[in-house]
Structure 1
Amino acid sequence: MITSRRYDIILFGATGFTGRFVAEHLASLANAPIWAIAGRDFDKLDALRRDLGRPELPIVLAEANNEDQVRALAESTRTVLTTAGPFNRHGTELLAACARAGTDYADITGDPLWSRKMIDRWDGPAQATGARLLLSAGYDSIPSELGVRVLQQEALRRWGSTLKHIHGRVRVFDIEFSGGSFASARARQDMIDADPSLAALLTNPFALTPGFNGTDQPGIGDVRYDPTLDCWVRPFMMASINTKNVHRSNVLQGLPYGAHFQYDEMQVVGPGDEGKRQAIALNAAGVAVDNIPLPGEGPSRAFCERASFSLLLYGINDAGEMLKLGVTGDRDPGYGATSRMLAETGLLLLDKPELGQAGVGLPGAVLGDALVQRLEERGGILFRFED
């Protein structure tokens, strides 16, 4: 356990679209830790700290792919938070440096291909140094991962057993994309173009659980009718990473949901014939964007503050009794809510060095109930059981 370094937290990628939101959240804290902002451009970092009203905020200069610079960065802090994607281009050296230095780390990757590479290469070394390296500490995949955990804990409390199958249903998903999101998608496709065998990982629900293959999972790639909710649902763009992380979380926690647990995640469209028609049309249309933003660009602040998300999780036990949980956020999922999830994950890593196991992990599996409480108190994320 590291107790003394120059900084408590370094935020890498602070001048990017999401990084700026994380910096604002940290700067708003009454009792903030000793933190610094990091990146490659001093002028942009200096402008950011002045915009934050914190001209004295330390700056750490580092290129993402400069091994010496990121090593020095990792060795100077107890915790690293990074928003600097695409992670398969700009994230590997930093995560590796944290693994070697025993430095806690959290990111917002939604890329299962890069995640699997980091698990395979750095899980063992991180365990040896005591580093807790938490992937996907944003909308990918905290609401899904933590929501399933909360629902399963309640099922166990009420009925003495966990649910065999949980359905995730995205009810509200207000989203506009940043340039970084498109850059990450292009980078992932470049990985597949270079090695077509990687495509199989994208469709494998257990791609992030090396050595464990659970039971067959429900399909999430086609429009279908949900008889429990009496509505039509369609494939959800984040389901590929979220479902994988839910299964990895189950494995990291020692399979508390069982070895045959099933999880699917879809987006709600609506009931009846009109719901079916809309679901088919939306699924066929895909994601349409008139003008793709540049890296560093994204939706307006007004949009991020008025947008929201709502995820319903439900399961039915063997006796036919249903349990439902709503996970909601009061900012847009991609940036406003994600930035607070990442910031509070990092702060909790700092505050609770005794929680969880070292290695390449996930926020819910490592920080558990403490993260649920922290997000409800300071992250604008609510976990509420529904009738």
Structure 2
Amino acid sequence: MTSVPPAGGRELDVVVYGATGFVGALTAKYLAEHAPEGTRIGLAGRNLAKLEKTRAELPASAHDWPLIEADADSPASLDAMAARTRVVATTVGPYLRYGEALLAAVANAGTDYVDLTGEVPFIRYSIDKVGEQAAATGARIVHGCGFDSIPSDVGVYLLHQAVQADDAGELTDTTLVVTSMRGGLSGGTIDSMRVISDLAREKESRRVLLNPHALSSGPNERAAGDRKAEPSDMAIVAASTVDPSLSGTLGPFLMASYNTRIVRRTNYLLGGVYGTAFRYGETMALGRNKVFSRVAATGVAAGMGAFFGAMAMKPTRRVLDRFLPAPGEGPSEESRERGHFDIRVFTKTTTGARYRSRVAAQGDPGYKATAMMFGEAALTLALDRDRLPDLHGVLTPVSAMGDALVDRLRAAGMVLEATRLG
């Protein structure tokens, strides 16, 4: 992973689009510090003066990176940008508001793409509108390449590999448990929630948002999506039912309604390799004491419901906006360094075996850790092309990059492991 392959007719390997935003600048900094020597990287955005300022604040290795003027309101500028690079890494969201023209540009140019969207309707739009074109041109459009949803996607993939290596059957009930996390939501994520809250008022959008298999199909197809066939995204469950090693009560995880759809799409794209009885949910550990954790889980569920309800109403949203981070804002470097996440994913197999994977990293999940995962995903697509699965179109992190991504993330310091429990 130290050499850079020929550019294959493209001037650049990676373009960071939205480089002047908070997470975009963090991603650019990560690439300046960690990309292999000779990697051809460009910075893109709608304001050249701001791009120059961003570049000047990066390490010296980035000071000759080209600057590209590109704007979501100018499809021609996006077409020109996509034609220059192997990979576009975009942080320009909310993606439902600003991302459609870029999808068309990369699909038409056969350019690979990564983003940080947490918007299920945007991915459904992507599948339906550009999925076939991207597959025809050889583009890989890979959504959810940050804290949402690389830990979820990779955590289940590691379980599958371990079970397969032991010939222990197939995955059945599989549950992600956030055991420890410190950090906050980014301003961009909050802005995406605003957009989703508005969409939830529309009947068709609600149908997509509530369908657990909203993404488990091809262009202009719809999976049946029986809500009772999968764990609830707002589940409150006894921890021991997930695995005997756990105690207390598990509460809902804020991003379950997005991450679970990504994992199910991976299983769909890989031909159902996780198993015909595979069911997947996400939760959060709230202590081992049965009484306290039950009260906490109930409080978390109620709080999440109240939060999304408040986001859906303009008067209460205006109050929340006074306290929530705005797009382009984020915590201090000290705060980002103190952050971390530690996630365990548990499964039972058709042979009765129990497995657990662990996914962990240092750094604020929504900022430092996301910049690392996002940057490594872009580098995987750009530099490890001979190791990538032979899949194109609208993909997920695991279906697009598989072992090549896992290896890069491990080399970057992420804990990625799977263990048989019994």
- TM exceeds 0.5? yes
Instruction: Indicate the RMSD between aligned Cα atoms, in angstroms.
Output: 1.9
Residue by residue, what CA displacement relative to the aligned partner does 1:193-246 show, whole Å, maximum 9, x if unpaired? Answer: 3x3321122221100012444771122313222223122111111111111011
Counterpart in 2 of 1:247? Answer: 264
Match of 2:40 in 1: 34
Match of 2:273 among 256, 272, 275: 256
Alignment partners' CA distance in 2, 1:238 and 1:55 = 37
Partner of 1:385: 418
Which residue number corresponds to residue 292 of structure 1?
Answer: 324
Instruction: State the TM-score, normalizing by the size of structure 1.
Output: 0.94
> Structure 1 residue 115 and structure 2 residue 120: aligned?
no
- Kindly provide the CA deviation profile for residues 288-338 of structure 1, in whole angstroms up to 9, marking residues without a partner as x: 886222221111211111111111111123454311111101111111111
Equivalent residue number for residue 317 of structure 1: 349
- Given that 1:220 and 1:264 are in contact with CA atoms closer than 8 Å, whether structure 2 keeps it comes out as yes
What's 1:75 paired with?
Answer: 83
Conservation of the 8 A alpha-carbon contact between 2:169 and 2:350 = no
Q: How far off its partner does 1:359 sit?
A: 0.4
* Equivalent residue, structure 2, for 1:25: 30
Q: Which one of 97, 100, 112 corresponds to residue 105 of structure 2?
A: 97
What is the number of residues matched between the two proteins?
A: 385
SS in 1 for 2:234: coil
Instruction: State the alpha-carbon separation in 1 of the partners of residues 224 and 265 from structure 2.
Output: 10
- Shift, 1:15, TM fit: 1.0
- 2: CA distance, partners of 1:171 / 1:310: 6
Structure 2: which 5+ residue stretches go unaligned?
A: 1-5, 308-319
1:265 counterpart residue number? 282
The equivalent residue for 1:223 is: 236
Task: Report the 3-state secondary structure (helix = DSSP H, G, I; strand = E; otherwise coil) of the residue aligned with 1:25.
Answer: helix
Cα deviations by residue, 1:124-152 (Å, 9 ceiling, x for unpaired): 00011011111111111111111101101
> 1:1-387 alignment to 2 at 5 Å?
3-29=8-34, 30-52=36-58, 53=60, 54-193=62-201, 195-210=202-217, 211=221, 212-213=223-224, 216-227=229-240, 228=243, 229-271=246-288, 272-286=290-304, 291-354=323-386, 355-356=388-389, 357-378=391-412, 380-386=413-419
| Alpha-carbon distance between aligned partners in 2 of 1:360 and 1:65, rounded to the nearest angstrom | 23
Task: Indicate if the aligned counterparts of 1:2 and 1:103 stay in contact, CA closer than 8 A.
Answer: no
Q: Which amino acid aligns with 1:241?
A: Y
Q: Is the contact made by 1:307 and 1:332 (CA closer than 8 Å) also made in structure 2?
A: yes
| Separation of aligned partners in 2, 1:214 and 1:189 | 21
Deviation at 1:32, TM superposition (A): 4.4
Q: Secondary structure at the match of 2:275?
A: coil
Distance (Å, rounded) in 2 between the aligned partners of 1:117 and 1:250: 19
Please identify, of 166-175 and 211-220, the stretch whose mean Cα deviation from structure 2 is larger. Answer: 211-220
Determine if contact 1:214/1:260 at 8 Å carries over to the other structure.
no
C-alpha distance in structure 2 between counterparts of 1:317 and 1:259, whole Å = 11
**Matches of 1:177 and 1:7, distance apart in 2:** 31
Deviation at 1:154, TM superposition (A): 0.6
| Structure 1 portions without partners, runs of 5+ | none
Give the percent of matched residue pairs that are identical in Structure 1 and Structure 2: 35
SS at match of 1:68: helix
Displacement, 1:282?
2.7
Code of the aligned partner of 1:209: S
Whether the 8 Å contact between 1:18 and 1:83 is mirrored in structure 2 is yes
Give me the whole-angstrom Cα distance separating, in 2, the residues matched to 1:260 and 1:125: 32
Distance 1:200 1:269 in 2: 31
SS for the counterpart of 1:334 is coil
* Partner-residue secondary structure (3-state), 2:25: helix
Partners of 1:374 and 1:7 lie apart in 2 by 20
Structure 2 SS opposite 1:343: helix
Aligned to 2:316: none
Q: Which amino acid aligns with 1:207?
A: A
> Helix, strand or coil for the counterpart of 2:282?
strand
Q: Are the counterparts in 1 of residues 135 and 393 from structure 2 also a CA contact under 8 Å?
A: yes
Q: Which moved more, 1:180-189 or 1:114-123?
A: 180-189
What TM-score, normalized to structure 2?
0.87
Check 1:290–1:174 CA distance in 2 against 1; reply closer, same or farther (3 A cut): farther
SS in 2 for 1:159: coil
Q: 1:311 to 1:164 in 2, by over 3 A?
A: same
